[in-house]
Amino acid sequence: MLAQVMPIDKPAASNTSPQAHMLGLLYGRFIAQALFAAAKLGIADHIAAGTAETPALAHAVEAEPRALRRLLRALASHGILIESAPDRWRLSATGELLRGDVPGSLRDLACFFSAREHGAAWLALDHSVRTGDSAFEAVHGMDAWRFGLAHPAFDQLFNAAMTSIAGSVHQAIADAYDFSGIELLVDVGGGHGRLMKSLLGRNLQLRGVVFDLPHVAARTQQLIEAESAADRCRAVGGDFLVEIPVRADAYIMTAVLHDWDDEACVAILRNCRRAMKGNGRVLLGEFVLKPANEPDLGKLVDLEMLVMLGRAKERTADEFQALLDEADLCLRRVIPLPAGTSLIEARPK
């Protein structure tokens, strides 16, 4: 079913002119760059540690004081910092997320977005729009996965960014869904088991399997064996495009399907369906795109998937249902999560 498209020709705020609205959008790049600089300089960490005045902060981050003040006041104008007295700063609740030592920190994501390699790919967005292919690959001569293997510093930035996002998403899933009826859960593409660790800690009846590529699973098993819940969890290696060799009550994937085109997604879901027990379920942590014309972070993340991977994408609820339908599954419900993503529950038809 196609969502009805409603015409819209006015800016978001009724008291804002179209010109001011457009300029605000264009200048949005500048605030993003200011956030990147703050993250790279570690400004939030220094303020949190008590270095709150401009001269001392400039010394701590090795910046020119007058230039630093210009950055700080720009951040304060967007609610990241608060100038509580002349040249004295404190963090807002939003600014706290630029610290590296707080739950839900997004500092590492900001540092990844500030990478020159990432920025160069986005400058070629028009290439992706014209061709449907990855701008990153066009600019750098290889896809993002191979580039990461060949450039460890970039790969480290990427992994840290994904970890920073995953922490808050994993906590939201643990809070939003009742896992009490599940005995064995498989985290498909579960990496080093961070989500599983969170779920096992909150659901003592639960047993878990972290399923990923063999070289990832080998390291994950080592990490599991060092944890107190090692008797309830194990890692299994394999290829989810070929087979998921674990029969379980439920299968969970977070930010997995958006990395793949429709054909691959159907293959992954079919493999879950073949492996699951009779009344099993599949849980998908993904963006579910909102109807036409609604503000939607997921629609911007969808452009990130286009730029970085080409055929990867975010999807609407109808598009998820179409994938599930081909895998003999039915979308049962969509649970919104606080940061804009959702948890989709699917069951056998």
The CATH number of residue 259's host domain is 3.40.50.150
The answer as to whether 31 is a domain residue is yes
pLDDT at 163: 84
**One domain for residues 187 and 57:** no
Encode burial over 219-244: b for 16+ CB neighbours within 10 A, e otherwise. ebbebbeeeebeebbbbbbbebeeeb
Mean pLDDT of 148-165: 91
**One domain for residues 313 and 211:** yes
**One domain for residues 185 and 323:** yes
The answer to whether residues 210 and 233 touch, using CB atoms and an 8 Å cutoff, is yes
Q: Which helix (H) or strand (E) holds 285?
A: strand 281-286
| Domain range enclosing 292 | 165-348
Helix, strand, coil percentages (3-state) for the chain, rounded to 5, are 50, 15, 35
pLDDT at 221: 95
pLDDT at 248: 98
The whole-angstrom separation of Cα 254 and Cα 252 is 7
**One domain for residues 169 and 87:** no
The answer to whether residues 206 and 199 touch, using CB atoms and an 8 Å cutoff, is yes
The answer to whether residues 164 and 107 touch, using CB atoms and an 8 Å cutoff, is yes
Q: For 162-187, what is each residue's pLDDT tens digit?
A: 888 887 788 899 999 999 999 999 99
Domain boundary among 98, 114, 135: 98
The separation between the first and the last C-alpha atoms of the chain, rounded to the nearest angstrom, is 19
Q: For the chain, how many structural domains are there in total? A: 2
Q: What amino acid positions are annotated as catalytic residues?
A: 258
pLDDT of 4 > 50? The answer is no
pLDDT of 18 > 50? The answer is yes
Mean pLDDT of 21-33: 95
Q: For 47-96, what is each residue's pLDDT tens digit?
A: 999 999 999 999 999 999 999 999 999 999 999 999 999 999 999 999 99
pLDDT of 7 > 60? The answer is no
Which amino acid type is present at position 220? T
